[in-house]
Amino acid sequence: PTGEPPGLLRRVDGYNYAPDNKKSDRINATLLSLVRNSELKDMLQSVRDLERTWNHKFNYPWLFLNDEPFTEEFKKGIRAATKAEVKFELVPKEHWEVPSWINDDLYRESVEVLKDVQYMNKKSYHQMCRWNSGMFYKHPALKDTQYYWRVEPHVHFFCDVDYDVFRYMQDHNKTYGFTINIYDSPESVAGLWPATQEFIASNNHYLHPNNAIKWLQDDVNRRENFEKANGYSTCHFWSNFEIGDMNFWRSQAYEDYFQHLDRAGGFFYERWGDAPVHSIALGLFEDASKIHWFRDIGYQHIPFFNCPNSPKCSGCQTGRFTDGEQWLNKDDCRPVWFKHVGLG
Ligand code: GDP
Ligand code: MN
């Protein structure tokens, strides 16, 4: 009676996805970005790519978060790049600040010891990793939101995607979607697996019967990483891209795990990244079949690509993993994920 085209067609051509349509086919989801004012130009690159390849059809809202107030210039620049709803919010101080039990002298000593770890001496980077691990989904502006797509500044999207990706997650009961899977610097997470084992020892019941612990512990390609990281392969979902269901991060299992890690101090005394933390939690506490490789979303965050073989893609070279040094090709650990879990 409304004269709208039915079902599938509606989803494909985005007919019912007008930005201000309160009854649109959009599900409860948002595009999400933590970003600094100084990164406006790089953020616009990412927003324009994602709008062009996908979001202009679906008009999911954007939420931008920052530990400092956004400037008018930033807001104006971003608003001009999308017709979707856009919000800018501040990260609550208590979510960002260094926890009281972190000792600054000890942190500085750790920086000396681990001086070869990238960003080790940049305290805000540690804060960012901790925030992405255990805080972002607690932001008041996300209180009523279930799914998110994390978008960083200066990333590229290469392929037209014609379906509602969030609806796909919901309809197929997926918790987490990734594009790239790589090995981490083992020095940055030397204590993460031991801390995790300690947690499991007293929280065995949180392990999912269909977990991916074999993937987490597979030493096949990088025996050295496995040893330096004390039993963790360091293979992780590269979290600058994630499409996820925040109910997982909001679960008791993950909250207890995060609190345990936070108390252990490794977000500062080492440089635990949100990517390995998310990956280990997903690998242990979630049903592995609920984790999805978005092979069709062409993506780059320097220096790595996910570039499918499809006429829908342009601007990246099919199958290419890196445009950096050739030795970086061995950082790709997607095959290890597929070996244990399959293509999904
Ligand atoms: P890399 O990808 O690991 O090299 O790290 P990035 O510099 O890209 O940082 C990861 C994400 O966190 C990006 O979205 C940054 O914009 C954001 N970010 C990092 N540090 C800060 C910070 O101090 N403040 C804010 N607001 N965002 C940050
Ligand atoms: Mn980045």
| Token pair recorded at residue 134 | 């255990």
How far is the C-alpha of 103 from the C-alpha of 84, rounded, in Å?
43
Whether residue 131 has pLDDT greater than 90:
yes
What local confidence, expressed as pLDDT, does residue 343 receive?
Answer: 85
Nearest CA to ligand 1 atom 1: 240
CA distances from 137 to 201, 207, 208, 299 (A): 27, 22, 22, 24
What local confidence, expressed as pLDDT, does residue 3 receive?
Answer: 44
Q: Following DSSP, what letter does each residue of 114-136 receive, concatenated?
A: TTTSTTTT-HHHHHHHHHHHHTG
CA distances from 334 to 47, 238, 296 (A): 26, 11, 15
How far is the C-alpha of 135 from the C-alpha of 97, rounded, in Å?
11
Nearest CA to ligand 1 atom 28: 35
What local confidence, expressed as pLDDT, does residue 23 receive?
Answer: 87
Span 33-71, pLDDT tens digits: 999 999 999 999 999 999 999 999 999 999 999 999 999
Atom of ligand 1 nearest to the CA of 273: 3
Hey, how many other C-beta atoms are within 10 angstroms of the C-beta on 138? 16
Catalytic residue among 187, 242, 270, 286: 242
ipTM of the complex: 0.99
> How many A from CA of 154 to the centre of ligand 2?
7
b/e sequence 149-188, b meaning 16+ C-beta within 10 Å = bbbbbebbbbbbbbebbbbbbeeeebbbbbbbbbbbbbbb
What local confidence, expressed as pLDDT, does residue 5 receive?
Answer: 46
Nearest CA to ligand 1 atom 5: 125
Shortest-distance ligand to the CA of residue 34: 1
The pLDDT of 16-24, averaged and rounded, is 89
Q: Does domain 7-341 sit in CATH 3.90.550.10?
A: yes
Phi, psi (degrees; rounded to nearest 5) at 223? -55, -35
Of the candidates 263, 289, 261, 259, which has an alpha carbon nearest to the alpha carbon of residue 273?
A: 261
Residue type, 108: R
Alpha carbons within 13 A on the beta-carbon side of 286: 27
Query: In terms of pLDDT, which residue wins out, 190 or 20?
Result: 190
Instruction: Say what the pTM is.
Output: 0.96
Q: Which of 33, 36, 88 to mutate to test the pocket of ligand 1 (most atoms within 8 A of CB)?
A: 36
Query: With bands split at pLDDT 50, 70 and 90, how would you rate the model's confidence at 15?
Result: low
The mean pLDDT value of the chain amounts to: 95
Atom of ligand 1 nearest to the CA of 37: 26
Span 243-254, pLDDT tens digits: 999 999 999 999
Whether residue 1 has pLDDT greater than 50:
no
Q: Calculate what percentage of the chain has a pLDDT beyond 70.
A: 95
The pLDDT of 255-283, averaged and rounded, is 98
Task: Enumerate the domain spans of the chain.
Answer: 7-341
